[in-house]
Amino acid sequence: MKLSPRIRQAITPLRSVMVVYLLVIIILMAFAPLLAPYDPIAQNVALRLQPLFSPGHLLGTDELGRDILSRIMFGAQVELFIALGATLLATVLGTLLGLLGGYFNGLTEVVTMRLMVDVILAFPPIVLALLAVTLYGPGPITLIIAMGVLFAPIFARITYGQVLSTKREEYVDAARTFGAPTIVVLFRTVLANVSAPIIVQFSLTMAAAILMESGLSYLGLGVVPPTPSWGSMVAAGQRYLTTDPHVLLVPGTVIVLTILAFGILGDALRDLLDPKAKKRS
């Protein structure tokens, strides 16, 4: 089957490899209880700090003798669950604010884009995340809500800018002329035609959410031990960087590749859904 030029442009060898990598991570996450060779929190001090490709431990063991491969697989559940929850919350909240502010203008624009979005953007995201975790305690729900609120302004700004130009299109005027309710015009006419950059930003925000969650877990403010988390694995492994570097490098490499994969996926979606964006950039 002959592919269109747009699809051929979007699909490159590097992007294909990254998509396959993401599929592998998702499969490992979904079937971790079945595929993991060991309990991720089971300790065996007699086998602590086993090197890579040890018998029975493909990626070695950590300082407590826990299987690193099993902890990576169960850690993927934590990372992707939090990242997906935070990104979904940010998408819904930010898109709604941008849609209302861009379509109605006036007082609605002031409340949504100035009093809410601009206030959040005035503070560094990591500082607000640290404040939220300190006040309400670490845990998945706290991280999802905090990061969802922090990433929402990005979606609000994107949606707001797209709506400002889209609402003047003839098909929007036609929908209003034929008596379509405002909510129908907003969600079936306007939102449907500004969804492409939102989808692209969704993938990029997944990468940012994984990075922020890993950073908070590295600082001890993310997922509560002994639940495995990639960030906490990096924090624990840094003490053994000179003697047993695999304890740090394995989870660190997984974090870097996952963030890179979501970023490259966002670029591919941009080329596929909005080919003019690459020319403009």
Q: Which CATH number does the domain housing residue 69 bear?
A: 1.10.3720.10
User: What is the secondary structure of 72-90 as a DSSP string?
Assistant: HHHHHHHHHHHHHHHHHHH
What is the C-alpha separation between 31 and 75, in angstroms, rounded?
A: 12
**Which residue bears the tokens 């690193």?**
68
* Number of domains into which the chain is organized: 1
| 45 assigned to some structural domain | no
| 40 assigned to some structural domain | no
Residue 187: what pLDDT? Answer: 81
CB 270 within 8 A of CB 214: no
Residue 196: what pLDDT? Answer: 86
| 3 assigned to some structural domain | no
pLDDT digits (tens, 9 = 90+) for 205-236: 999 999 988 988 888 888 877 888 899 999 98
What is the C-alpha separation between 226 and 232, in angstroms, rounded?
A: 10
Structure token pair of residue 22: 């993401």
pTM of this structure: 0.88
Residue 280: what pLDDT? Answer: 45
| 129 assigned to some structural domain | yes
For the chain, list residues with pLDDT below 50: 278-281
Residue 54 three-state SS: strand
Residue 165: what pLDDT? Answer: 82
| 99 assigned to some structural domain | yes
| 47 assigned to some structural domain | no
Residue 279: what pLDDT? Answer: 47
What is the C-alpha separation between 15 and 45, in angstroms, rounded?
A: 41
Closest CA to 209 of 25, 17, 79: 79
Residue 120 three-state SS: helix
Residue 6: what pLDDT? Answer: 59
Residue 82: what pLDDT? Answer: 92
| 39 assigned to some structural domain | no
What is the C-alpha separation between 253 and 30, in angstroms, rounded?
A: 20
Residue 3: what pLDDT? Answer: 57
Residue 5: what pLDDT? Answer: 62
Residue span of the structural domain in which 75 resides: 13-32+53-276
